[in-house]
Amino acid sequence: MSRKDFIRRMRKSKLFIIGLAGILAIALLCFLSPLFAQFNPTKSELSNRLLEPEWFSKGLGGHVFGCDSMGRDVLTRLLIGGRTSLLIAFSVVIITTLIGLVIGLLAGYYGGVMDLMLMRVCDIMMALPTLLLAICVVAVMGASVTNLVVVLSITGWIMVARVVRSTVMTIRNSEYIKAAIVLGIPNYKIIFKEVLPNVVSPVIITATQAFGGMILTEASMSFLGLGVPAPAPSWGAMISDGREYIATAPWVVIVPGIALMLVVLAFNFLGDGLNDIMNPKNKD
């Protein structure tokens, strides 16, 4: 597909546009929040404890989404926490994609013993429960953003590796790979120049779809206290903190919950949209 085709298809895909717009909006809000945030996300003001949302009655200067049980502004925590969540998800997706790409390329291209060994490693990793692994790591090394990224990466690359491997195995049998071998092109060059460009689109699609899942996993880890250490905000931790007051002060839970849902939805839209755009079988 040429670049022109690609752009035309991108414009035509509603899912893609909606997903991309949503993600850009959320990411911009989160990362630019230090410029306009009115409150300190970690400083508690007990006079404001469980303050009801003031919406926009005081403009942006008020507590738009209210305050939590420690009297911290929910909107500020949401934006600052979103920054952490997105950053963690982004690093994990990048790391897992790179590891998965390398493993998948090697297993799919060389096949045989290499494939057998790498895929057994995958099976072993699959058998590890992410949550238990996380508890172990946190118990040993303590809760921190880095440790969270490590835990999520350890189990996250397997999906990518499997997708890449199966795509590479199909490509490996095409005649243009035979042609490259007959021309005397060394294996590493064949992998980089002939195979890699053809696995980029499935990898991008998988990575995008994994992004939403990663944000959710990060939230559940933080919810369980295995993620971002308090008092730094994170969406999962916010939901966890607020669950005791869900009957009296539902906004403390609902606001980060909705934000979480919107981000994941946006990433799923983007992933599906990319799938439509990049799949050559979808004629327009």
Binding residue for other proteins, selected from 144, 198, 268, 279, defined by CB under 8 A: 198
> Would you say 59 or 112 has its CB closer to other proteins?
112
Residue 194 within binding range of other proteins, rule CB under 8 A: yes
Would you give the binding string for other proteins spanning residues 161-190, x where CB under 8 A is met?
-------------xxx-xxxxxxxx---x-
To other proteins, the closest distance from the beta carbon of 193 in angstroms equals: 8
Listed as own residue / partner, the contacts of 34-41 with beta carbons closer than 8 Å and 24 or more positions apart are 34/80, 36/60, 37/76, 37/79, 37/80, 38/73, 38/76, 39/63, 39/72, 39/73, 39/76, 40/72, 40/76, 41/72, 41/73, 41/76, 41/77, 41/80, 41/81, 41/232, 41/233
Of 59 and 184, the one with the shorter C-beta distance to other proteins is 184
Residues 6+ apart with CB under 8 A from 254: none
Total number of residues binding other proteins (CB under 8 A)? 17
Q: Is residue 126 a contact residue for other proteins (CB under 8 A)?
A: no
Measured from the CB atom, the residue of 9 and 83 that comes closer to other proteins is 9
CB of 179 to other proteins, least distance (A): 6
Token representation of residue 120: 């057994």
Output the CA angle 41-222-20, nearest 5 degrees.
Answer: 75
**CB 199, min distance to other proteins, A:** 10
**Contact in structure between 154 and 125 (CB atoms under 8 Å):** yes
Residue 16 C-beta: closest distance to other proteins, Å: 21
What is the end-to-end Cα distance of the chain in Å, rounded?
12
What CA–CA distance (Å, rounded) separates 253 from 171? Answer: 48
Nearest CB to other proteins, comparing residues 95 and 171? 171
| 197 near other proteins (CB under 8 A) | yes
- What is the binding site for other proteins (CB under 8 A)? 2, 174-176, 178-185, 189, 194, 197-198, 280
